Structure 1
Amino acid sequence: MSHYGVIAGIHKESLAEELGLEIGDRILSVNGQELMDIIDLSFAFAEEEIELLIEKANGEQELIEFDKEYDEELGVEFESAVFDNIRRCGNKCWFCFVDQIAPNMRDSLSIKDDDYRMSFLYGNFVTLTNIREMDLKRIKQLHLSPLFISVHTTNGQLRARMLNNKRAANIIEQLEYLVKNDIQIHTQIVLCPGINDGEILDQTIHDLINMGENVLSLAIVPVGLTKYRESCYSLTGFSMEQAGKIIEQVEKWQLIARKKFGKNFVYLGDEFYFLANQDIPDADYYDDFPQLENGIGLTRDFIEEWNACQDKDCNAYEEPIYLDIVCGKSAEKILSILLRELEIKNLFIRVIPIENKFFGENITVTGLLTGQDIIQQLKFLSGKRDGIIIPGVSLRKGENIFLDDYHISDIEKELGAKVQIAHDAVDLNRLLKMWNNVKEENETEDMNYTWQGNCAYTKNN
């Protein structure tokens, strides 16, 4: 079966433009080597003499021969980072969030990937249950490091049951192979009350800490439960008391890890502190924020960014401005405290915590807000409203669309107010201080995949 990468974009004044490549062209091989993904392309394109076989939109093939500098980039973006289809997840995890989405939603939201290449390239967490011996050899040979692995528990029998896949029992052997071959890994646990907590959690942390320094970090997040669990394994969320005990349990392991590695190693998701009604730890707790993209320390990072912005001068508004800031219920307290200290003449701010009726009241994180919940709950609020600020984390990557397919423009139309997106604390600070000078329209970025030389990869989103 032939594999090919479909060009989705070409950089200006790039080698690809000079060669006459076009959007829609298919790259079939480089120097006779077929390509499975942009990783293969990176290594194949490291040569200085290149034979590039492409297929045009009309089906005609063309062999392009050229010389290039060793580190010269092709300058293209691809429709997908892998050319032989992303590997799908073959598990049926008890806690899988995809299995808990609302019915009749777009098919793409039900796609579960479990591809080690996407883990290496973009930090996606994988379970390794579909990994083959040839994949492990390729990871070793190309040194695809670090990888991001969903461990959940090192108890093989329990893991096999939790993932509904007998291959899941091999996790210790797989991790040891990676570590032995100098592959660094970040790990995570989705913690479920009464299943992989307690002594099981202690054993998992113990096992990972003692695998050595190539295991870089461990993130622990509480299981997320929506109201669409009719056909799912019976699970419950954490109570305030249970969350507090988890924090105490993990703190003991952090003391051990700090003596051993000079860092906490194991980090808790922000939700545990919200559930336990405890303060978010200081920045030192998170060391260098190794799992920020996984949401670990996101609140503290936001606070640090916000505080760093506040030494900048801002002008008062000549006329009153009334802005609504949308957030999840768990973020309301912290956001309100930060905004209370912001004093700008004629700026009136209202923080609106949105109850998640779409997924269920147990879901309090900002990242799972939906457009219809925002519209319904803001529509009936009295008072003036000149604009609405939406957290970027609530939108699908690269798009101004919520998980329920509502667009930013739907909110503007329904509520009759300008909507802007704040992706982080810097954005929020800028919008509050310069509301009258921000762009009228939010720009959507393309979700294309870029190959860069010297084994560096980016995803445009």
Structure 2
Amino acid sequence: MASKIVSVDAGSPAARAGLRAGETLLQIDGTAIRDVLDYKFYSYDARLTLRVLEADGESVREVRVRKREGEPLGLNFEHYLMDGMKQCSNKCVFCFIDQLPRGMRKTLYVKDDDARMSFLMGNYISMTNLSDADVDRILRMHISPVNISVQTTNPELRVKMLQNRRAGEALRIMKRFAEGGITMNCQLVVCKGLNDGEELRRSLNDLKKLYPAVNTISVVPFGMTRHREGLYPLEATDKPCAEAILDIVEPFAQECLRELGTRLVWCGDELYLKAERPLPNTVYYEEFTQFENGIGMLPLFMEEFRLALPDYEGRAARPFTIATGTAAAPSLAVLLDEAAAKCDNLSGRVVAIRNDFFGPLVSVAGLITGQDLIAQLKGRDLGERVLISANMLRDGGDVFLDDCTPEQVSDAIGVPIVPVEIDGADLLAKIFED
């Protein structure tokens, strides 16, 4: 699919070669450019010949470009992927998007399942919409790593869980990736009574056989909202279920550490919290490869806080409130107590926000809405500001999941909202901010 150039970076190789906004990129060195992967792959070399359609839509010209090997050309296109995003063709029994209430903004209901987004943005894909040609292309271009939502290596069970007849082909594709030297990071979303227990053991053992191509595995619990009318009957991950998952994964990880030199598999922080077990220390998580999946996020946050705390000893701070999810609230309260013991007149509190919008079983901070903040904070003594996790807000920090803005929440509760990055040191910096 030809892509129109909307801008050219100043001083870039493309700008020096005379490429212009309004033109359409057709080919690089004789190869048709279909999307962003073609563009990045075929523009790597130091000397290139580009074929472009001029802005008049009729004339075609060739442009020669010289640059450093691997240096970006500097072209920007109408769409990031340069063509349409591949949509998810599954009906996963655990899908969080299917559990959203009606009436939210349309972008929240979009389900992508695009291998290009896995490579470029770290998204996890099911591979059910990958053709053999797509697999060949990934191998030819050596697109790596690929992040894969595996769920189970049992073909029949995977078809059942993803509600897609092609879902059972996953292990075959993964074996091809492994043979081709593609690195894979895998995720298992565990649903009670489906892919836990012996099925979880099977999946872990099957994935271990693909090491080192399978680089990491995360095991996370299915998230249940209160909006599951008409969906597959699933049970929430309770304490016994979380304990059982940890009792399978942790010994397996220890076995991998002895045999492979890496634990290979890690459980999400939420499983430890649900099981009411201590979180591992940060050394346990090795390279934190699956941090964005909630793997080691809270232990790292707490360590960052404690390492930064000596810089604030003896200092005072304006009164404040930390509003967070029910899962992280006890840990943040511990940190606040530690800070109060070393700082002068630290007047702050942690408020656990119950998720009434999605339901009380949703306990993470990132899914708290503006309306729940207003309902549970309005009329309380909050000090001079409320600190919240920045991941409650859309990228850009302008709106909560329910389309409330930080300004609307601030107006309703009477104090400013201050977003904090997922970084313990940033929390301290915001607490002591003048």
TM interval, short-chain normalised: over 0.9
- The equivalent of 1:298 in structure 2 is 297
1:34-433 map, 5 Å: 34-47=32-45, 48-53=47-52, 56=55, 63=61, 65-71=63-69, 72-78=71-77, 80-313=79-312, 316-317=315-316, 321-343=318-340, 344-381=343-380, 383-423=381-421, 424-433=423-432
Q: What is the SS of the residue equivalent to 2:327?
A: helix
Q: Distance in 2 between matches of 1:5 and 1:345?
A: 59
Shift in alpha-carbon separation, 1:340–1:130, aligned structure 2, 3 A: same
Give how far 1:419 is off.
2.1
- Name which structure has the greater RCO, CA cutoff 8 Å, separation 6+: 1
Q: What is the SS of the residue equivalent to 1:166?
A: coil
Shift in alpha-carbon separation, 1:21–1:244, aligned structure 2, 3 A: same
Give how far 1:59 is off.
5.3
Q: Distance in 1 between matches of 2:103 and 2:23?
A: 34
2:213 is aligned with what amino acid?
A: N
1:339 is aligned with what amino acid?
A: L
Residues 177-221 of structure 1 show CA distances to partners (whole Å, capped at 9, x for unaligned) of 111111110111110001111111111111111123111111011
Q: Distance in 2 between matches of 1:76 and 1:351?
A: 47
Q: Distance in 1 between matches of 2:4 and 2:292?
A: 27
Shift in alpha-carbon separation, 1:140–1:414, aligned structure 2, 3 A: same
Q: Distance in 1 between matches of 2:229 and 2:321?
A: 35
**What TM-score, normalized to structure 1?**
0.87
Q: Distance in 2 between matches of 1:266 and 1:380?
A: 45
Q: Name stretches of at least 5 consecutive residues in structure 1 with no aligned partner.
A: 437-461
Q: What is the SS of the residue equivalent to 2:92?
A: coil
1:360 is aligned with what amino acid?
A: G
1:256 is aligned with what amino acid?
A: E
Q: Distance in 1 between matches of 2:240 and 2:289?
A: 28
Shift in alpha-carbon separation, 1:74–1:282, aligned structure 2, 3 A: same
Shift in alpha-carbon separation, 1:314–1:53, aligned structure 2, 3 A: farther
- The equivalent of 1:444 in structure 2 is none
Root-mean-square deviation (CA, aligned residues, Å) is 2.2
- Among the aligned pairs, what percent are the same residue? 34
Q: Distance in 2 between matches of 1:26 and 1:409?
A: 41
Q: Name stretches of at least 5 consecutive residues in structure 2 with no aligned partner.
A: none
Contact 2:23–2:52 (CA under 8 A) maintained in structure 1: no
Contact 1:28–1:55 (CA under 8 A) maintained in structure 2: no
Q: What is the SS of the residue equivalent to 1:219?
A: strand
Contact 1:5–1:82 (CA under 8 A) maintained in structure 2: no
**What TM-score, normalized to structure 2?**
0.92
Shift in alpha-carbon separation, 1:221–1:78, aligned structure 2, 3 A: farther
1:30 is aligned with what amino acid?
A: I
Contact 1:89–1:113 (CA under 8 A) maintained in structure 2: yes
Give how far 1:276 is off.
0.8
Shift in alpha-carbon separation, 1:355–1:132, aligned structure 2, 3 A: same
1:341 is aligned with what amino acid?
A: E
Q: What is the SS of the residue equivalent to 1:217?
A: strand
328-337 or 246-255: bigger deviation = 246-255
Residues 263-305 of structure 1 show CA distances to partners (whole Å, capped at 9, x for unaligned) of 1111101111111111111112211112112211111111121
Q: Distance in 1 between matches of 2:22 and 2:429?
A: 38
Give how far 1:29 is off.
3.7
Shift in alpha-carbon separation, 1:393–1:79, aligned structure 2, 3 A: farther
Give how far 1:308 is off.
2.0
Give how far 1:67 is off.
3.0
Q: Distance in 1 between matches of 2:57 and 2:374?
A: 48
Contact 1:366–1:394 (CA under 8 A) maintained in structure 2: yes
Q: What is the SS of the residue equivalent to 1:248?
A: helix
- The equivalent of 1:451 in structure 2 is none
Give how far 1:346 is off.
4.4
Shift in alpha-carbon separation, 1:396–1:52, aligned structure 2, 3 A: farther
Q: What is the SS of the residue equivalent to 2:273?
A: helix
Shift in alpha-carbon separation, 1:324–1:248, aligned structure 2, 3 A: same
Give how far 1:28 is off.
4.0
